[in-house]
Amino acid sequence: MYSMIPFGRMSNSFNDLFDEFERSMFPASQRQLPAFRTDIQDKGDHYLLEADLPGFNKGDIDLHLQDGVLTITAKHQETSEKKEEGKYLCRERRCGSYQRSFDVSGIQEENITAAYDNGVLKLILPKQGEVIPQSRKIAIE
């Protein structure tokens, strides 16, 4: 019969020592998942930001805009419901959060739109129009 432990995850292995060390050094509240990946494209009159956030529900994602900085936060929360717990042979899924910030100076902040579909967050960031320098004649008194 085959073991249910994933390949390369044998108990009392060298990797378990590093996992235990990480858990002892950083409390669960301070551990974060690695930053999520994004693509930003220049589409002429706007930028398109696409962020990979697989496994999140739309309600788990927060977009916050303050002082020209857009912050994207996504959190996995463990539910407080107590279900009949079975004996885990391997448990790799954890709760945690992602957070990244982007400078959005030069963007029409009031016209930013967002959509989330199939694990990809898409933001349309409209550019501000070019500032045309004004000239005027100054009269000498």
Q: What structural domains does the chain harbor? A: 33-78+94-129 (2.60.40.790)
With a pLDDT cut of 70, the percent of the chain lying above it is 65
Q: What is the pLDDT of residue 80?
A: 45
Question: Cβ(112)–Cβ(70) under 8 Å?
Answer: yes
* CB neighbour class for 123 (10 Å; exposed up to 12, middle 13-18, buried from 19): buried
Order of all β-strands in the sheet with 46-52: 38-42, 46-52, 120-126, 113-117
pLDDT, tens digit (0-9, with 9 covering 90-100), for 5-38: 455 555 555 556 556 665 666 555 555 555 789 9
Question: In this predicted structure, what is the pLDDT of residue 79?
Answer: 54
